[in-house]
Structure 1
Amino acid sequence: MNEETGPTTVRVFIALAPPDHAKEELARELRPAYGTHPRMRWNRIEDWHITLAFLGELPVETVPLLRRPLADLAAAHRAPKLALRSSGHFDDRVLWSGIDGDLDGLHVLAADVRAVVKQCGVAFEDRPLRPHLTLARARRGDLSSTAEIAAEFVAFRGTPWLAERLHLVGSNTSRSRGPIHYRDIEAWPLGSDNGSGS
C-alpha cells in the first residue's frame, strides 16, 4: 500500500529478468573488470533486467490499471528461451550484455506488452526494442573503459534459460539523489506451454 506521505509519481518499466544462475554466470566473468575498472558505475546484479517497455514517470494511481491486463497477457504468452551473449556499448557510455535465443518470441512479447499499455491509456515513448542487459555506465572522462571491457567479453556465451516471469518494475525518479534502485511492483508467470518442450 502507498503511504499518504509517499511520492506522487514513480518511474515504471516492464521487463524480463534472467534467473540467478544466469546472472551469476555472467557476474563471474565480469568480476576481474570490477577490480580493473572501479570508476565504472556498475549496476547491482539484482537489478539486471531486459526492458520490454519503458513507461517513464507515471502518477502512482495509474500503476494499478496495468496489473490485471499485464497478468492476463503474461498467462497467454509462452516463456521465451533466452541466453546472455557477448557484450557491447552504446555511445561509449553504457556497457551491455547482448541477448540470444528466441528473439522473435521476445519481440512479439514486447509488442504485445506495449499494445496492452496503450490500451490502458498510458502514453509513453515507443522506442525500438534493442534487447540487452545494462551492466554499467562510464563516468565522464573515463569513456574508454566501456569499449575496453566490451572487447573482453565478446566471446561470452551464457547458458540458455526460460524467462519465466513478466515484471512490472518501479524505481526512484530521475530527480532522486544517489544511484537508481529498482523494485518489483508485481511479477506474473508467463505461460508454460512450450509446445515442443526443451
Structure 2
Amino acid sequence: MNERIQDATIRVFIALAPPDDAKEELARALRPAYDAYPRMRWNRIEDWHITLVFLGELPRPAVALLRPALAELAGSRHPLHLSLRGGGHFDERVLWTGIGGDVEGLRLLAGEVRALVKEHGVAFPDRPLNPHLTLARSRRDDASSAVRAAAGLSGFTGRTWWAERLHLVGSNFGRGPGPIHYRDIEAWPFSGAS
C-alpha cells in the first residue's frame, strides 16, 4: 500500500540547467576540492541545476496540470544570459556556487513561475530566491569541509552562457538506497523575442 501511495506522488521542482561545457568548466575548478574533501557528498554533475521553485511531493495529476502553463510561460520568455561564479555555503554544510549575469531577469522569471504555480492551486514552501547551484554536502562530523571548499571557489568566474530552457524536474525516480537522481519530466525552450 505504501508503495502505491509513493507512486501517486512525485517530488518536483522547476529549474534552469547550465549547459554541459559550463558545468565541465566548474568541475575542473572543483578538482582540488574533490581531492581534498572526498568524504563530502558531491552532487553528480548531470544533476546540477538552478532551482526557481521547489514544490515538494505533488500528486501526479497536479504535475500534469502545470505542464501546459509552464510551456506557455517558457514560450513567452527570452533566454537569460547567466554564469557560474564564486562559492559559498549554507549552515557550514552545503557548498554552492553563485549565479552571475542577468540575475534580475532570473528573479523576474522565478517570480512568474511561482505566481503561475500558485494560480494553479499548488502550495509550496515559499522561500526567498537565493540564486545558486548546490554542489555538495558535508557530513555532520566534518562540517568545515564545505566552508574550506567554498573558500577555494571564491575566485572562480565561469564563462557566460544562455539559459534556453525551463525544466520541470522530478527527484524521486529510482527510490531506494543510494543517492537521489534527478530527471526532467519535461523542458520547454524560451522562445520569446529577445
TM-score band w.r.t. shorter chain? over 0.9
- Structure 2 unaligned residues grouped into runs of 5+: none
What do residues 61-93 of structure 1 show as CA deviations (whole Å, max 9, x unaligned)? 211101100000001111110000000000011
Mapped partners of 1:48, 1:29: distance in 2: 15
Mapped partners of 2:193, 2:176: distance in 1: 41
Contact 2:12 2:55 in 1 (8 A): yes
Mapped partners of 1:164, 1:83: distance in 2: 13
Q: CA RMSD in A?
A: 1.6
Choose between structure 1 and 2: higher helix proportion: 2
Match of 2:11 in 1: 11
- Aligned-residue offset at 1:176: 4.8
Contact 2:15 2:49 in 1 (8 A): yes
- Aligned-residue offset at 1:50: 0.3
1:107-118 to 2 correspondence within 5 Å? Answer: 107-118=107-118
Structure 1 residues 70 and 88, CA gap change in structure 2 (3 angstroms) = same
Contact 2:80 2:106 in 1 (8 A): yes
Mapped partners of 1:74, 1:177: distance in 2: 35
Mapped partners of 1:8, 1:184: distance in 2: 18
Q: SS at 1:66's partner residue?
A: helix
Q: Percent identity?
A: 65
Mapped partners of 1:8, 1:178: distance in 2: 21
- Aligned-residue offset at 1:6: 7.4
- Report the TM-score when normalising by structure 1: 0.92
Matched, 1:36 2:36: yes
Contact 2:33 2:152 in 1 (8 A): no
- Aligned-residue offset at 1:164: 0.3
- Aligned-residue offset at 1:193: 2.5
Matched, 1:24 2:24: yes
Q: SS at 1:160's partner residue?
A: strand
Q: SS at 2:89's partner residue?
A: strand
Matched pairs, number: 190
Match of 2:104 in 1: 104
What do residues 153-178 of structure 1 show as CA deviations (whole Å, max 9, x unaligned)? 101000000100000000118x8532
- Report the TM-score when normalising by structure 2: 0.94
Mapped partners of 1:193, 1:23: distance in 2: 27
